[in-house]
Structure 1
Amino acid sequence: MSRSLHSPPVANVPFSRPGTPGLRPTHVAFVGLGSIGYLMARNLAINRHTHPAGNPPLLVWNRTAAKSEALVKEVGANRAIVAASLEQVVNESDIIITCLADDDVVKAIYEQFAKLIISAPSKKRIFVESSTIFPTLAGELDSLISSAPHAHLLTCPVFGAHSVAATAQLLILMSGDYHSKKEVAYLLVPAVGRKVIDLGENIEKAPTLKLLGNSLILGTIEVLAEAQTLGEKSGIEGKTLHEVVQEILPAPGVIAYSQKMINDDFDGTKGFALDGGIKDASHIRRLTAKHNSPMPVIDIAHQHLITTRAIHSSLHQEGQASHDVLDWSGIVAASRVSAGLDAFDRKKVSATASGC
């Protein structure tokens, strides 16, 4: 049974606040400053709730040091500092939050953590893995981290687009050690997100729910793409269909993706990159195979994401791509091309459709 955690003054908080901090301040680190990770780390650094008197600045590390330096420049050296190495992160931190690109990177980073914590001074450490990973990897990571005394792993993926992360309104999923969840929940809410859903102590549950949630989002994007394309072919303008979307499917995410499609706004640096979508679709399909529970719409969406990537790659090689990184709403390109329309330019689509 899942439970919701809110920061006071919201009633019915299932986890009480952690006890009064001791004499030693809490050291927090953030590893991985991608599109969402950067915003999470920024909000964590500037939020007053995470930095009561005496607590040190957030320690940040990224493979590309320039991102860490940019974050420190944005929030100030009194709120964040750049870690020179992962060794410094492990040695100096009590809570280490990671937000990384894919399973291979996650595993590589946690293998380094495991080696470092064995030789580091023994103390309580909580590792908070917020990437979107396949659930069984969580078990592997837990084995790595629990090899050291007093070390705990939480899986903590998040839901929310770039704009949601920017305003600290992410929905946070959490599974793992009870006492660690209690401490981390009040660290992240309201600094990073608006709500935490607790999935219990089974470390695989939060990553599983994240994939299920992403299947809902991806399935919706696929249907939107198909409907927008059919509308253009049958003489219904994209803006008209978008108006209907706003009326009958008024979820902010659905409206935002519909808006991107009608405006050809496929900049992946401001949204969710296409490669990330392909990775998540692959994970969802693997999960359906594991549990003998087919999701045909995800199979189709996965094919369309790959087709879109191939079209974009071809245009990029020819110097005609409008964006270096494509947002996964660009999946509409596959439907458009299948219908004989232009992949990424709706003005050309409209001109073609008008002659139908």
Structure 2
Amino acid sequence: MTRLLQTIEPILWRDEQLHLLDQRVLPHTEKWLTYHDSDAVAEAIKLMVVRGAPAIGVTAAYAVVLAAREAWFSAGENWKEAVEPALKRLTSSRPTAVNLSWAIERMKQACASLSKYESPEPVLLALADRIQQEDIKANRTMGQYGADLLDNDSIVLTHCNAGALATAGFGTALGVIRQGFLDGKIEHVYVDETRPWLQGSRLTAWELMQEGIPMTLQADVAAGALMASGRLDWVIVGADRIASNGDTANKIGTYSLAVLAKYHGVKVMVVAPTTTIDWLLENGSLIPIEQRMSSEVSEIGGHVIAPVEVPVSNPAFDVTPASLIDAIVTEEGVVSNPSKEKMQQLKKEGK
């Protein structure tokens, strides 16, 4: 079994600062931004400098390190109280991605265990690094689990970007595709452009081309025709939040793909770490859906393409019912034909 080396790391901690690869300007410009305060990181998450639920979680963990450092120098032994406003601002930066609140809560628990008389930075930095390394390890495990579900020479479609850029490295959906290609399971990948942010054309296509994985970019609306041709075997996507019954929130357009896939007999695979599962939500109707600014739809690259002041709906995500999903792949195992009962079994086995 061949393992692909990690080739892209979008999140780096270096020289006591956080460095993020600015995903807004890829693929034409590789630009790194440096952050030394948590509020700036919260804004970076909101503005999609970094995106993808696992990557947001890792970034938030390092932002807590920065927030605690700020609070220690400004408030001394009262740093635990002083850090709270910054953590609230971080938590509200992207409401749908559950990894954000999960990572912050894990860091808060570490804060609570620390003495108020010593700098929290060393312990918190070690935990943030551990969260990052755990994500990479989970991605590689999921990559193999997902690849093992594929037949040889499969043709697959992916939507948005669930690759190394959306995680700490290697990727979720693209982790399966990377490993599947290495194992001879994937012959070709179709990539939806993914309006309105074009993460497919800007990011996923770039990642696949970096590693020589055969791919074809297509408009989102071409997916139905591709499925009707009979050439497609799987739709493989990531997730931003999964309810306890398996309903999955992912980039807007995923639900449409799942409905088309069901009609055409194409299988659907969701790939996400268990940290993306919100065990407190009974079903997908309870997942908060982020509404983003209208200019993301009415403009492309700063160029206005719609009538001025046109009313715009811009939900960032939609929810795919578990009944339309053939497999949810996590680092703890695979849930085939997910249901509330099967998801609960995964929860028990993961403890």
So what's the TM-score if we normalise by structure 2?
A: 0.32
Higher Cα radius of gyration: 1
Greater per-residue strand proportion = 2
Greater per-residue helix proportion = 1
So what's the TM-score if we normalise by structure 1?
A: 0.31
